[in-house]
Structure 1
Amino acid sequence: MKSLPLPYPPRRAFIGTTDRAPKGGMAENLGKSEVAEELTDSLKRAVAAIEEQGVPYLLGGGLGCWARGGPPSSNDIDLMVKPEDAERAQEALADAGMRPESPPEQWLLKAFDGEILVDLIFEPSGMQIDDEVIARGDELSVMAMNIRVMNLNDILITKLMALDEHSVDYGDLILITRSLREQIDWARIREETASSPFAVAFFALADGLGICPGAQQPAPVES
């Protein structure tokens, strides 16, 4: 499929390689000069601290998509944990030298490793993290570490359900779904996000761009 032009300059790349990233993903082509060492080190410290305490977790968000071969991301670190494990995970990060913070939002806790933010999310939009969600994740090699990564469809469901009238940005979703389209369970995501008009609008856009399998390819623009 012919690459679509980006509507805006690409976001800053940050990460190196993962030996299990699917071929064709942007991550496998990144060089070491593009690694943001602080973010990489913070992810390693956070995962090590949580694993040491035996807290089940999943790497989600933009980094979770990148780990599966998606576009590079400079987002914060999103770690998914069960509600009953959130405080224990935050304490583990505090013991590792990170600064804990309890925001007013009732669906996550936070910790700062210097300037790097680690979100401990237990109730993202569209789902609650439970044993079933944890079990759907996969262990992947990420930056020379074996890290539990959230199921791609679950990540996309939470991203789509988070869209609202105050936060409508389809740019990242287009980049992610275009690069990982063959890994996506389109029928499941459509069904589980059907209650959101913003998700419905996204699928109309993705269909029009020819991203969804079986969608009509966009007509060429006449010059």
Structure 2
Amino acid sequence: MAHRGDEGLLHTLKRVAATLKQSDVPFALGGSFAVYAHGGHSSDHDVDFLIREEDVERALAALVAEGFTAERPPEDWLVKVYDDQGRMVDLIHRPVETPVTDETFGDTVTRCVDAIHMPVLSASQLMVHKLLSFSQHYCDFARGLPLARSLREQIDWDRVRKETANSPYAEAFLVLLDRLDVVPSDGKELAA
């Protein structure tokens, strides 16, 4: 599942997931490792977990007790933990300006990630998060293409269009997918 060089990060991911599970902190795997968990490809190589804001302190306490170092960056939508090798994990409680809720956790599937079963954000929600992250300050479509191509059959494209309708960057990306014959812009299936 992980690329060579990501084995250390995968080990860190497993340690964080196991600690959160043992501490009864609800979470979902997001980001590039969630894409991998769905069998897809991502150009990013980071570990992102989604947790509720009200669980941040409990999660940090449990992870610090397991030897992680906690950091509170200036961004107010996440906290970070580092293992003893300096590998970073983001604990995100407000992705794309939307708070993580029980509904977020309802939009997951359980996947086995290197022998640990855990909730993973749905492919559709991963695509929505990716598209809503595009802005005038960050609009690197090359980071969204591997996700769209590798998980296109698992993604509810009508849902993605609806949930990203207010973003001109998402609209442009969806037009690009149509022009590249990845997914038609009208939502109809491509001819095989």
After superposition, give the CA deviation of every residue in 1:164-208 in whole Å (9 maximum; x if it has no partner). Answer: 111111112111111111111001111111111110110010010
Residue in structure 1 matched with residue 23 of structure 2 by the alignment: 53
**How many residue pairs get matched?**
187
TM-score, structure 1 as length reference: 0.79
Contact 1:63 1:77 in 2 (8 A): yes
What 5-or-longer segments of structure 1 have no aligned partner?
A: 1-13, 17-33, 218-223
Residue in structure 2 matched with residue 110 of structure 1 by the alignment: 80
Residue in structure 2 matched with residue 79 of structure 1 by the alignment: 49
For 2:144 and 2:77, locate their aligned partners in 1 and report how far apart those are by CA, in whole Å. Answer: 22
1:15 matched to 2:10? The reply is: no
1:70 matched to 2:49? The reply is: no
Residue in structure 2 matched with residue 212 of structure 1 by the alignment: 183
The structure that has the greater radius of gyration is 1
For 2:108 and 2:98, locate their aligned partners in 1 and report how far apart those are by CA, in whole Å. Answer: 14
Identity of paired residues, percent? Answer: 37
Identify which of 13, 27, 31 aligns with 1:43.
Answer: 13
Q: Residue 138 of structure 1 aligns to a residue in which SS?
A: strand
Task: Return structure 1 stretches of 4+ with deviation > 3 angstroms.
Answer: 213-217
One-letter identity of the residue aligned with 1:171: A
Superposition deviation, residue 126 in structure 1: 5.1
Residue in structure 2 matched with residue 8 of structure 1 by the alignment: none
For 1:153 and 1:85, locate their aligned partners in 2 and report how far apart those are by CA, in whole Å. Answer: 25
Identify which of 98, 102, 111 aligns with 2:68.
Answer: 98
1:128 matched to 2:99? The reply is: yes
For 2:159 and 2:17, locate their aligned partners in 1 and report how far apart those are by CA, in whole Å. Answer: 29
What 5-or-longer segments of structure 2 have no aligned partner?
A: none
